[in-house]
Structure 1
Amino acid sequence: MFTGIVETLGTIRKKASSGQGLRLTIEADTKWSDLMPGESIAVNGACLTVADLSGSAFTVDVSPESIRRTTMGRINAGDKVNLERALRSTDRLGGHIVTGHIDATGVILSRQEQAAFTLFSIQIPKGFAKYVIEKGSIAVDGISLTVNDCHDSSFSVSIIPFTARHTTMGQRKTGDVVNIEFDIIGKYVEKLLLRGREDKAKDVKKGRISTEFLAKHGIV
Structure 2
Amino acid sequence: MFTGIVEELGTITAIESLADGARLTVSGPVVTADAKPGDSLSVNGVCLTVVEISDGRFTADVVGETLQRSTLGGLREGDRVNLERAMALGDRLGGHIVQGHVDGTATVLSVDSDGLTRFELPERLSRYLVEKGSITVDGVSLTVVDAAATEFGVAVIPTTAELTTLGLRHPGDPVNLEVDALAKYLEKLAEPQLTSLARGHTPQREDNGGATGRQ
Instruction: Give the TM-score of the pair, scaled to structure 1.
Output: 0.87
Return the alpha-carbon distance in structure 1 between the equivalents of residues 112 and 177 of structure 2.
20
C-alpha distance after superposition, 1:143-202 (max 9, x if no partner): 000000011100000111110111011111100000000001111111111133457899
Q: What does residue 214 of structure 1 align with?
A: none
1:128 to 125, 128, 153: 125
Q: Is the 8 A contact 2:107 2:172 kept in 1?
A: yes
Q: What does residue 69 of structure 2 align with?
A: 69
Q: Is the 8 A contact 1:138 1:181 kept in 2?
A: yes
For the residue of structure 1 that corresponds to 2:146, the secondary structure is strand
Return the alpha-carbon distance in structure 1 between the equivalents of residues 31 and 139 of structure 2.
20
For the residue of structure 1 that corresponds to 2:49, the secondary structure is strand
Letter in 1 for 2:159: F
Q: What does residue 157 of structure 1 align with?
A: 154
Letter in 2 for 1:127: R
Return the alpha-carbon distance in structure 2 between the equivalents of residues 173 and 44 of structure 1.
16
Q: What does residue 17 of structure 2 align with?
A: 17
C-alpha distance after superposition, 1:75-103 (max 9, x if no partner): 10000000000010021000000000000
Letter in 2 for 1:196: Q
Q: CA deviation at 1:29?
A: 4.9
Q: CA deviation at 1:9?
A: 0.9
Q: What does residue 111 of structure 1 align with?
A: 111
Q: Is the 8 A contact 1:13 1:25 kept in 2?
A: yes
Identity of aligned residues (%): 48
Ranges in structure 1 where 5+ consecutive residues have no aligned partner: 210-220
Q: Is the 8 A contact 2:31 2:84 kept in 1?
A: no
Residue-pair matches, total = 203
For the residue of structure 2 that corresponds to 1:26, the secondary structure is strand
Matches within 5 A, 1:69-218: 69-114=69-114, 118-198=115-195
Say yes or no: does 1:50 pair with 2:50: yes
Could you say which structure has the larger radius of gyration?
A: 1
Return the alpha-carbon distance in structure 1 between the equivalents of residues 42 and 32 of structure 2.
14
Return the alpha-carbon distance in structure 1 between the equivalents of residues 153 and 53 of structure 2.
37
Return the alpha-carbon distance in structure 2 between the equivalents of residues 42 and 195 of structure 1.
34
Letter in 1 for 2:37: P
Q: CA deviation at 1:30?
A: 2.7
Ranges in structure 2 where 5+ consecutive residues have no aligned partner: 205-215
Letter in 2 for 1:111: V
Return the alpha-carbon distance in structure 2 between the equivalents of residues 70 and 163 of structure 1.
21
Q: Is the 8 A contact 2:31 2:85 kept in 1?
A: no
For the residue of structure 2 that corresponds to 1:113, the secondary structure is coil
Letter in 2 for 1:23: R
CA RMSD of aligned residues (A): 1.9
Letter in 2 for 1:126: E
Q: What does residue 213 of structure 2 align with?
A: none
